[in-house]
Chain A
Amino acid sequence: MSNKRTPLHQSYRDMPGVKIVDFHGWDLPIHFSEGIIAEHQSVRNAAGLFDVSHMGEFIIEGDDAEAYVDQLVTNSISTMESGEVKYTFLCYPNGTVVDDLIVYKFSPTQFMLVVNAGNVEKDFSWVEKENPIAQSRDTLPAVKNQSDAWALLALQGPKAESVITSILPEAGDIDFFRFRDDLFLDDIPLLVSRTGYTGEDGFEVFLNADDAPEIWKRLLEAGEGEGLKPCGLGARDTLRLEAKLPLYGQEISDSITPLEANLGVFVDFEKPYFVGREALLKQKEQGIPRSLRGLEMIDAGVPRQGYAVYSGEEQVGVITSGTKSPTLKKFIALALIKRGIGLKVGNEVEIDIHGKRKKARLVKTPFYKKSGRS
């Protein structure tokens, strides 16, 4: 079976140096001509443009849409204003994660959920019918999967604002985790939010698939003098890891709860009910067994997902993500590590890398934090 391609595939498939790889059944660029490290640095120092059209978008509409979404996800939806964006989780009744997602509130009767590409089908079934709320009710708000009709571009970096406002001045007025869905570039309708997955300021632009090549081109042209580079999945991963932004299947999954991944701030126990609340509350009260920690290698070696972490002879955890940090020029990792065993920042642990124990130390996270916006 052939892979899916985004509406932008034709725009970059013949660019010199682009490398296309399979990502959850999608043909996507892992990097362009200059490579992951140069792209990473362009996002930290100037700006980068990502095609993230593989992400899924669902629209939930109906009189009771707000109550429904509020019961499905862990974060508070009823307290959101229209035009606001929130990061949250869909959980199973046992508290582990169906997916992490971003909720856009158009109005109390209309929402958009932006979900991970690899989970679109699973999430859609879950949101549309398989979750316990849907199972117990006769009528539900309408859930539409818009994923194939829409493209999504992410413009990220300290220069993102000056790049986008040079062609779309209104975007500059959008605050962090807010959006506008009434913007046009010429006659092309755009939904623009101030969001991203890199640890930098930035924007995400949702638009009709057919319009994507034009906007991709316009943004690249607008960024020419600012150091904007097209960026691939490789830089997306190193950027999010430095900023300690979780990746589904690594830091969170159907066997990891948000509390274990230190993401409890996105779980609102004030709400009387949401799917997974009971299990998560019980976990919180009885003691969360592990926690997501940052590691930095002392010995040479690259920590990767699945590698065991030891303190003395005892295995105390497992690596969820690791790489060479292009910003810090060090080998870094996130690991789920047992709580309550007295491991503190600065303490040494060992990682089993290809059968050899390599020393690492616990460090503060995030590994990278952007300097404050003026």
Chain B
Amino acid sequence: MSEIKDNLRYTENHEWVKLDGNKAVVGITDYAQDSLGEIVYVELPETDDEFSRGEEAASIESVKAAAPVYAAMGGRIVEVNEELEDAPEKVNEAPYEAFIYVMEVSNPEEFNELMDSSAYAAFLEENEH
């Protein structure tokens, strides 16, 4: 059973989002890291890169495959988790601590359109077979 945190919001692409004022911290969920398997590389965005919601912002590579990380909300990258450059396995070990990037969001209202923890739990259940 995948871990889901109550205080976060979620996308259908299995990103988690924490909003703090107009800053969104984004990572991938426990379900996502478990599906990907052992992560060997995280291609981070660059600071000041701008993305619309849903655009590909980063890429996570496991032994087996590459998975895009989308911009969970629209905005400008203000921080990336450089620790992941040398230790991508942190995403496997602690997916809710190993954020990928922090974004200054253009429209904080977008946050309310994301799934809350119970909606995400239901979403996962629907997609499990």
Contact = CB atoms under 8 A, between A and B. Distances in A.
Contacts of B64: 30, 36, 234, 237
A304 B62 CA distance: 11
B43 A301 contact: yes
A35 B37 contact: yes
A183 B66 CA distance: 44
A30 B38 CA distance: 12
A19 B37 CA distance: 9
Which of A31, A300, A302, A304 has the most C-beta atoms of chain B within 10 angstroms of its own C-beta? A302
B95 to A, nearest CB: 15
A354 interface: yes
Contact of A354 (B37, B38, B59, B85): B59
A324 B37 contact: no
A31 B41 CA distance: 19
Size category, B interface? 10 to 19
Interface string A25-40: 0000011000111000
Nearest to B62: A36
Contacts of A353: 43
A238 B66 contact: no
B61 interface: yes
A36 B38 contact: yes
B66 A36 contact: no
Interface in A300-333: 300-302, 304, 323-324, 326, 331
B63 interface: yes
Interface string B33-53: 000011011010000000000
Contacts of B85: 300
Nearest to A354: B59
A234 B37 contact: yes
B41 A36 contact: no
A36 B61 contact: no
A30 B62 CA distance: 12
Interface of B: 37-38, 40-41, 43, 59, 61, 63-64, 66, 85
8 contacts: A31-B37, A35-B38, A37-B38, A300-B41, A301-B43, A304-B66, A331-B41, A353-B43
Query: What 9 pairs across the A-B complex have the smallest Cβ distances?
Result: A324-B40, A302-B61, A36-B63, A302-B41, A35-B38, A234-B64, A37-B38, A36-B38, A354-B59
Given A302-B61, A302-B66, 11 more contacts: A19-B37, A31-B37, A35-B37, A36-B63, A36-B64, A237-B64, A304-B66, A324-B61, A331-B40, A354-B43, A354-B59
